[in-house]
Every structure is written in C-alpha cells, then in structure tokens.
Chains A and B, each alone.
Chain A
Amino acid sequence: MTSTSEQLLGSLPLFAGLEPGELSGLLAACDLETGEQLWQQGERGDALYVVEAGSLEVAGRLPGRGELSLATVGPGDVVGELALLDSGLRTAGVRALEPTRLLRLGRVEFRALVVSRNPSARLLRRRITEIACARLLQRHRTLSSTLPGVFVHAVATRGAMARPPDLEYLRWLPFFREYRAAELEQLLASASVERVPRGAVLVTEGEVSAALFVTLNGAVEEVIRRQGGSIRVALAGPGRGFGYAGLLARGAATATAIARERSVVLAVAPRELERQLREDPFASAVERDVVGALRQAERPQARLAIRRNERGET
C-alpha cells in the first residue's frame, strides 16, 4: 500500500485510531477499467472497498423495470461494508465510471482477525456496526420524507416484569444462537424481561430509545407514522432486536416500535449495552441484527420505487 493510500485511510472515520501498519496488512489495492463491473447485483458479498481514485456507479434492478442508477461514489467513499458482517446478496451492482483504484478488505481476512481477538478488528467491527446503524436511520428518514402529513406522536411505555422463556427455547432464537447457556444466563441477569400487550408503544420516533430490545415471544413492528399514512420499516419477531440503531449512532429513534402481538421482550439499558457490546456473542448478534434490519428497510423503498415507476415518475 502506498503512502497516499495510508494517508487516505487515516483520514476516514471508519479507520480512525487504527495503526497504518495494521491497515496495510489488511487492505490490498486493485484497479478497474472504465465500465468494468466490481460486482453484480445478486452476488454474495465478500469484501469492503475504499475508493482511492476514480469513481464508481451503483445501479440496481427492480422487478418490472430496467437498471436504475442509485449513486455515484468517489475518492474516500466506502462501498460494500456490510459484506464484512454478513455474506448476504449484493442488492445493487457497482461498476467503474473511469479508471479506478480501490483498496479491498476481504471478509475472510477480516473475520480471521476478529476470531483472533485482534483489538483493531474489534474497533473496526464496532465502527462498521455504527455505520450500518447510521445507514438504517438514514433509510428511515428517506422513507419518512415520502409520507404526507405531520408526525403522529405516541408515548413510549415499559412492560410489566416477566419470567424469561426457558434457555433451550432462547438458544433457538437468531439473537442468541452463539450464546452458551452460562453467557445467556448472565445476559438475562443484567437486563430486564418485560411483558407488553398488543399495541403497546416501546420506542417513540424522535426520542432516544430507553433500551436495546430483543423480542423473545410475539412480534414488535417498527413504523414511521404520519397523519397521511404509515410505513412499516421492520418487524421484529422472536430473536430480533429493535430500538438500538439510534443508541449506537448516538441519535434519536427514527421509527416508533409498537407491539403487533402481545409480546415478551428483553430490554438492555444503554449503560449495560456499552458493556455488552464489548462481549463477543452480543456484538455478533447486534451485527447480524442490523444487517437484517437494513434488508427489511429496503423492502418499502423498493415498493415505493415501483409505484413511482408505475406513475411515470423518475
């Protein structure tokens, strides 16, 4: 890696605080010709890329319409960072608009570092989770801008204390699947388990969430509500989290969380959340969860794009 590359990486918030020497061992340079595809929509993601020079076009296909240009990115921009957290499908294709130099951080290399408990990898992982949370909040804001009418305020409440479901059941749930029984017991002891009726509001849009919540039984939906309508941005069924994106991105919640079914939820208070995020099963669970939440938030965006297309709008 050249000194220019190191300088560029040092200036990016994603890599702030990491030693240039460590980064040079992690990232590899690669070049694209004009028009060359970095990845196709629908491919499995395997790396994050930093644009060092040149520019890339991000373009997606939606059902029933041709390719749609979504964004242009240039020097200093990062693309594909979710691939480090999740091996899901790329939701849009990326190609070079001109000769472009990229710095590649592969998922395999990154995960190997995480497993070896490398402190820099942990820091980078936390940053990527925060970026994913910030992106989720931005997606919600974009969706809310499509709704007419004024914000509908709802008062958040907390549920009555409840007994947690048994450990055998909990370890089936996506959030806890990497937990050992003893670790899970510790988590339960440091958080509260609450029972809420259908329709209860747990997080209010525009306010700081009282906790990171995980649904244990039932389902909680996250909605953006305006007088002119509402959009559901996520449904958190058993083993799915909600209410934490604002906490991790240091901002207010961008959606209101309402129990769609009578539910039992785990609530991890903000101070405990910071402590838990330093623990491996919890950090991994939040990573997986935020990627899932981002994918869920794409669904209404895609539907809106199709509707705009049907109306002949661009």
Chain B
Amino acid sequence: MCRVLAYLGRPLPLGVVLYDTDNSLVRQAHSPRMTAMLNLAGFGVAAWDPRSVAPHEPLLYRSTALPVYDRNLRNLARKVAPTCALAHVRGVELSEVGVVSELSLHPFHWPGTRVAFAHNGHLREFDRMRFSLVPHIHAELQRRIGGMGDTEWLYAVFLSQLRDPYGTPAANELADAAVKTLGIVRAMRELHGIETSSPTNLFATTGRDLVATRFSFDYGWYPDVDSLLEVDLPFVSLWYTLGDAYALHDGEWTMGSDYPICSLLLASEPLTVDSSTWLEVPEYSLLVGSLDREQLHVELHDLDV
C-alpha cells in the first residue's frame, strides 16, 4: 500500500518531512509502521513555492529510483522549502504482474492543469470497469492518459468534474470533484457487480487548497484468494497534525502552538514514532484544507458516497 504526505502552510524544508523525522516519508518507503507492504516502486513529489518562477506551477519530481539512495532528491529536498507539497511513495504487491514504471508514478500533474493528484489504495477488479469510465472523462483528457493504472484514470475523471479542467479550482470545487469522482466509481462498480473492498484515499491540491479522502468502497469484503488481505484488513490509515509551524520543539518534530494555526501536515502514517500529537482522519471522511493570508482553514466532512 502506498504512503502519501501532503503539506500546506508556512515554508517547510522538504528534507524535514522526506528524510529528517524518525518516521519520515522516505523511511516509510522501506520501513512502514502501519502497513505490511513495502513502498519501493517509485517516488514523486509536487511542491509549490510562491517565491519561485511561475509560482502556480509545482516543482514536479518523479523517479523509479529508491528515494533512500536518490542523491538528487536528497540534495533537492535540502534546498526547497515549499508552502504546499504532495509526495508519494508507491507500493505494489510482490507478484509477477506488478509493474514499476514512470507512467505509474504519483502525483499526477498534467502540463497545463493546476491540480496535482495522488492515491493511496487500489481499486480491486479495476480491469473490469476501466473503460466504462471513458464517458465520464473529457474527450481532450482521454488522449492524455498514458497508463492503465487506476490512479491516472481517477485523475482524469477528477479533472473532468471541474468546471474548467485547466482552471484553478477553490477548495469547495476540489471537494465537489472528489465526491463526484467517488460517486462515478461507485456507479461503475455497481454496473459491473464489483463488491470487493477498494481503499480510495485520494489527495488533490492546487498549491493553495487541498482535499483528501479517507474512504473505502465495500470495506471489509475480500476475494476468497487475495494477496492483499493482510494489507487491507485495517482501514487504510490517514493522519494529520496542525499548528503554526512544523519544527523541532524540545528535540521533537511537532507542530508549534502559537497563533495563528497556519500549517497542516497530512500523512498515511505520523511522521514521528511518537504519534501522540497526530490525529487520525476519521474513516469515510473528506478533509478540506485551504490557506488564506496565512490563516489555515480545515474542515472534516462525513463522506457517504
């Protein structure tokens, strides 16, 4: 099962969350604490810095190299301090059918669009429903799909739910698009009689606003023979912490308690072994975060799709 990290707030050196904390995202690639699956099938990050050239465009770095040995990533992470980031380490099951390919790396961010997108989960029996999604994807976007993986297709469906797939949607439009995307997938699953558990933690961000879901279709129902049973029995995890800034306090990486609250960290697993200052995003929930003049707004909604 993949691991994802999303950040919105004050400039934060990427190296802190990728490498420095004792359960950093890169550590979660090879030694995750909350899943039985290794996440060695690629790394990606989209990072926004308002002081950079073309600030609305993220720095996008994706590689099939193992991030723990990726010196380019390590050097880059030391120099970049974004106000928003979406990073992902990809897990695939140990099998002869798993594919490690650049086409499958998250986050997805097609040139000209304003939304980066990642997924922690997997749609079981996706092969059966993939092409039924086509009518729900803008004709222009259909041509941009390069792979057969569920996430890229979900990204295309998601963008197609926006008023303008190339515009910059506000938080509420991102949230609506996430709910509509899940609704379309639900309908296609029903059409094909797919009733197996399919965790669908989605992450979408424009660099100023972000949404994330902690969701599963048909949670608790598994095929008779299933190599992912061990991974999927617990609801796929998602945690958050918030405060004025993520920094070292008394030797521990935690959110500070000064006002205003303007930083949000969201991750498949807490970034520190001491998880006591992290909160779980409730199951079947949609988290919406937006940053407005250094003031962070975070909302949690029940997700009944």
Contacts and interface: CB of A to CB of B under 8 A. Distances in A.
Answer yes or no: do A and B interact: yes
Interface of A: 41-42, 60-66, 89-91, 166, 169, 172-174, 215, 217-219, 232, 235, 237-239, 260-261, 263, 299-300, 302-303, 306, 310
B243 A64 contact: yes
SS of B interface (majority): loop
Which size bracket describes the interface of B in this complex?
A: 20 to 34
Contacts of A42: 273-277
Contacts of B257: 64-66
Contacts of B277: 42, 61-63
B255 interface: yes
Contact of A303 (B244, B279, B302): B279
A66 B258 CA distance: 9
A237 B220 contact: yes
Contacts of A62: 277
Contacts of A306: 242, 279
B218 A261 contact: yes
A218 B276 contact: no
Contact of B244 (A64, A91, A239): A64
B233 interface: yes
A299 B282 contact: yes
13 contacts: A41-B276, A61-B276, A63-B242, A64-B241, A91-B276, A169-B229, A217-B220, A218-B218, A218-B219, A235-B282, A303-B279, A303-B300, A310-B261
A217 B221 contact: yes
A63 B235 CA distance: 23
Nearest to A296: B280
Contact of B242 (A64, A66, A172, A237): A64
A42 B233 CA distance: 25
B158 interface: no
Contacts of B220: 215, 217-219, 237-238, 261, 263
Interface in B28-76: none
A89 B275 contact: yes
Given A64-B244, A215-B220, A237-B220, 11 more contacts: A63-B241, A63-B242, A63-B279, A64-B242, A64-B255, A89-B274, A169-B222, A217-B221, A218-B220, A219-B220, A237-B219
Contacts of B219: 218-219, 237, 260-261
Contacts of B229: 169, 172
Contacts of B240: 63
Main secondary structure of the interface of A (DSSP, over half): mixed
Interface string B207-245: 000000000001111101000011001110000111110
A127 to B, nearest CB: 27
Contacts of A232: 282, 302
B222 A89 contact: no
B102 interface: no
Interface string B147-164: 000000000000000000
Contacts, number: 88
B279 A64 contact: no
Contact of B278 (A63, A90, A300): A63
B235 A235 contact: yes
B248 to A, nearest CB: 15
A169 B220 CA distance: 12
B233 A172 contact: yes
B20 interface: no
Contacts of B126: none
Interface string B244-269: 10000000001111000100000000
A172 B233 CA distance: 9
B283 interface: yes
B235 A237 contact: yes
A218 B279 contact: no
B276 A299 contact: no
Contacts of B302: 232
A263 B282 CA distance: 20
A303 B299 CA distance: 11
A41 to B, nearest CB: 5
B233 A63 contact: no
A299 B234 CA distance: 17
Contact of A64 (B222, B261, B282, B284): B261
Contacts of A302: 279
Nearest to B229: A172
Contact of B234 (A66, A91, A237): A237
Contacts of A218: 218-221
A270 B33 CA distance: 37
Contacts of A60: 276
Contacts of B230: 172
A298 B300 CA distance: 16
B184 to A, nearest CB: 19
A64 B241 CA distance: 7
**The 3 A-B residue pairs with the shortest CB-CB distance in the complex, in nearest-first order:** A42-B274, A64-B243, A63-B241
Contacts of A65: 243, 257
B32 to A, nearest CB: 17
Contacts of B278: 63
A302 B273 CA distance: 19
Contacts of B254: 61, 63
Interface in B135-150: none
Nearest to B217: A261
Contacts of B241: 63-64
A302 B276 CA distance: 11
Nearest to B275: A89
